[in-house]
Amino acid sequence: MVVQALAFYLFATIAVLSATAVVTVRNPVHSVLLLILTFFNAAGLFVLLGAEFLAMLLVVVYVGAVAVLFLFVVMMLDINFVEMRQGFLNYLPIGVLIAVVLFVELAFVGAGWTLTDEAVAVLAQPTPAGVGNVEALGRLIYTDYAYIFQSAGLVLLVAMIGAIVLTLRHREGVRRQKISEQVKRTRADTLEIKKVPVGRGI
Amino acid sequence: MELLWDGYIEPLVWIVAKILAIVVPLLVAVAYLTYAERKVIGAIQLRKGPNVVGPFGLLQPLADGLKLFLKETIIPTSANKGVFIIAPMLTFILAIIAWAVIPFDEGMVLADLNVGILYLFAISSLGVYGIVMAGWASNSKYAFLGALRSGAQMVSYEISIGLIIISVLLTTGSLNLSDIVRGQIGGVWEWNFIYHFPMFIVFIVSILAETNRAPFDLPEAEAELVSGYNVDYSAMTFALFFLGEYANMILMSGLCAVLFLGGWTAPLPFLDFIPGAIWFILKICFVLFIFLWVRATFPRYRYDQLMRLGWKIFLPLSFAWVMLVATFLVVFDKVPA
């Protein structure tokens, strides 16, 4: 168990430190890279909890896809760091206020949380005995919570279609390659053989 | 003291020994893959390839490695130093750690994870960071453009690779790589590439794009980007990118062998007496040969054609295949338990 404890403290320390650094470093690209490090350590914590499927999913979805797009956007922004710092004091009171509200809410939740004996027993084993991680999760979301899961999928589908509709623009005068037309082209469409009389031209 | 030795140090020594047993042959294989590439392309173009250093030029990769090792590492003054140095290391480390879950033979695997295929997928989806970080940190337009292209390309083709993996998993019923291979025991007619033949082709093309190999090597298109994201790198930092790219090629070939070509199983049952690891290595070599063959045969794709192929052809095709496989399994009651 010593190794697990050491691994936990390693992941937890790096996660907390890098999460702090995300909001304190000056360069936004460094922020995103540190955010990725945080995600990665969170995945490590998931593995220690016995939720290896969730850990891999976190890496594939957040680190492998979401953060890449995030990094793209941040890399291509032309940000003036000095200008960005100027409004800092103006926004400070509102920011602190929101942080305090969130903190108080979290404290209330934490203080009012009691664990029943059943919950404690479940804590010790993340999945039912003899069932793999993936299977346990699959049983939950495709049997017990099938409708909720499907509607979540529908919401995401609608959001995706919305994003596509909002950004789809047809520009005039753009020449696009239409491969089907190129393939359908026959010799008769493009070539015409003419007999040219000698000395006359066409 | 005894507890410390038995409980911690001995397993640690064992694991380190196993890791070395994988990594050292892998690095040798990477070195000789560059040799094989030059020889194969030479043969296809009716040239001799490297033949000066050592017998048949066999020491050429060592000479190349030594050259890169002895050169000066130059860090551009306008580069973002930390990220600039981390990027090649990241590429190289990711290409190596993915090998932890590859099964070379029955039971011959470093970590027999239950979610092995997801681990591989996760690690290969991280590969894009090394390239994007390198392109950004170099602080040069060519490197940045190369990195952007490469990022978009790898993210696009990952989706179709993921869907293809899903359709294979549907027929296997497990995310464990060893179980996927065990599902294909019994000769060549049990291998997945027969049942998933269209997806086998799509997978081969997708791994070409995923590893940034020709004809999809746009990130390092020397004609327009003077070699893309790694243009500012020199000596060992460049060598790490190079090694990472080739180790990734071998890894993807291994993944292809596990998913479609039956991993360590013999093609005909009476050939079982040959060790599984040898079959596995032969299959990897076969897929690697396809990599080299394609590079010598096809011209480079245009960028919009590349994106069209990924999003408009491979994505719908692999989606349709997942649906088809799932429907087939349910209708004929063949869902693996």
Whether residue A122 is predicted with pLDDT greater than 80 in this model: the reply is no
Chain A nearest CA to B183, separation (Å): 18
Identify the CA nearest to B253 among candidates B279, B277, B285. B285
Instruction: Please give the Cα distance from B35 to A68 (Å, whole number).
Output: 34
Whether residue A197 is predicted with pLDDT greater than 70 in this model: the reply is yes
Of B44, B69, B94, which one is at a domain's C-terminal end?
B69
Structural domains counted in chain B: 2
- B-chain CB neighbours of A30 within 8 Å are 83
Whether residue A9 is predicted with pLDDT greater than 70 in this model: the reply is yes
Contact A134 B175 (CB under 8 A): yes
Instruction: Please give the Cα distance from B143 to B134 (Å, whole number).
Output: 8
The DSSP code for A175 is: -
- B142/B197 same-domain check: yes
Q: Is the pTM of this model over 0.80?
A: yes
Q: Which residue of B has its CA nearest to A71?
A: B132
- A-chain CB neighbours of B132 within 8 Å are 68, 71-72, 75
What ipTM describes this predicted complex? Answer: 0.81
Placement of tokens 């337009």 in the chain: B141
Identify the CA nearest to B244 among candidates B94, B85, B83, B28. B94
Region B313-322 average pLDDT? 92
Average pLDDT score over chain A: 84
Region B151-165 average pLDDT? 87
Identify the CA nearest to B336 among candidates B177, B185, B179. B179
- B273/B129 same-domain check: yes
pLDDT for position A188: 85
pLDDT for position A126: 61
**Beta-bridge partners for B105:** B108
Contact A52 B129 (CB under 8 A): no
Contact B158 A177 (CB under 8 A): no
Share of chain B above pLDDT 90, in %: 19
Nearest CB among A27, A53, A65 relative to B115 is that of A53
Q: Where are the domains of chain A?
A: 1-78, 132-166
Among the residue ranges A133-147, B63-77, B221-235, the one predicted with the least confidence is B221-235
Among the residue ranges A97-101, B30-34, B89-93, B269-273, the one predicted with the least confidence is B269-273
Kindly list the distances between the CA atom of residue B114 and the CA atoms of A56, B104, B178, B179, in Å, as whole numbers in the listed order.
11, 16, 9, 9
Contact B118 A68 (CB under 8 A): no
Placement of tokens 């995300």 in the chain: A22
- B25/B113 same-domain check: no
Contact A64 B132 (CB under 8 A): no
Of B34, B69, B104, which one is at a domain's C-terminal end?
B69
Instruction: Please give the Cα distance from B316 to B192 (Å, whole number).
Output: 21
Angle between helices A67-76 and B116-137 (to 10 degrees): 10
Highest mean pLDDT: which of A131-135, B87-91, B125-129? B87-91
Angle between helices B141-172 and B197-210 (to 10 degrees): 150
Contact A56 B118 (CB under 8 A): yes
Instruction: Please give the Cα distance from B211 to B244 (Å, whole number).
Output: 10
- B131/B168 same-domain check: yes
**Beta-bridge partners for B108:** B105
Cα-based angle A74, A79, A83 (whole degrees, multiple of 5): 140
- B65/B100 same-domain check: no
Average pLDDT score over chain B: 86
Q: Confidence class of residue A84 from pLDDT cuts 50, 70 and 90? A: low
CB B108 within 8 A of CB B99: no
Q: Is B115 on the interface with A (CB under 8 A)?
A: yes
Q: Is A25 on the interface with B (CB under 8 A)?
A: no
- B-chain CB neighbours of A56 within 8 Å are 115, 118-119, 121-122
Q: Is A174 on the interface with B (CB under 8 A)?
A: no
Chain A nearest CA to B119, separation (Å): 6
- B51/B92 same-domain check: no
Amino acid at A147: Y
Q: Could you tell me the two tokens for A11?
A: 């992941």
The DSSP code for A197 is: P
* Domain hosting residue B46, numbered range: 1-69
Q: pLDDT (tens digit, 9 = 90+) per residue, B74-113?
A: 888 888 888 888 888 998 999 899 898 888 888 888 888 8
Chain B nearest CA to A56, separation (Å): 6
CB B284 within 8 A of CB B257: yes
Contact A56 B121 (CB under 8 A): yes
Q: pLDDT (tens digit, 9 = 90+) per residue, A154-192?
A: 999 999 999 999 988 888 888 877 888 888 888 888 888
pLDDT for position B105: 84
Nearest CB among B8, B122, B144 relative to A59 is that of B122
Q: Which residue of A has its CA nearest to B12?
A: A3
Angle between helices B141-172 and B235-260 (to 10 degrees): 20
- B257/B315 same-domain check: yes
Q: Is A52 on the interface with B (CB under 8 A)?
A: yes
Contact A68 B114 (CB under 8 A): no
Is residue B108 classed as helix, strand or coil in its secondary structure? strand
- Taking residue B56's Cβ as centre, other Cβ atoms within 10 Å add up to 14
- B61/B91 same-domain check: no
CB B239 within 8 A of CB B65: yes
Contact A64 B308 (CB under 8 A): no
Q: Is B305 on the interface with A (CB under 8 A)?
A: yes
Kindly list the distances between the CA atom of residue B51 and the CA atoms of A109, B48, B60, B195, B251, in Å, as whole numbers in the listed order.
72, 7, 8, 42, 28
Whether residue A138 is predicted with pLDDT greater than 90 in this model: the reply is no
- B111/B20 same-domain check: no
Of B69, B95, B127, which one is at a domain's C-terminal end?
B69
Instruction: Please give the Cα distance from B10 to B178 (Å, whole number).
Output: 26
- Taking residue B41's Cβ as centre, other Cβ atoms within 10 Å add up to 16
Instruction: Please give the Cα distance from B131 to B94 (Å, whole number).
Output: 12
Q: Could you tell me the two tokens for B256?
A: 């292809």
Contact A68 B122 (CB under 8 A): no
DSSP string across B222-282: HHHHTTGGGTT--HHHHHHHHHHHHHHHHHHHHHHHHHHS-TT--SSGGGTTS-HHHHHHH
CATH (residue range A1-78): 1.20.120.1200
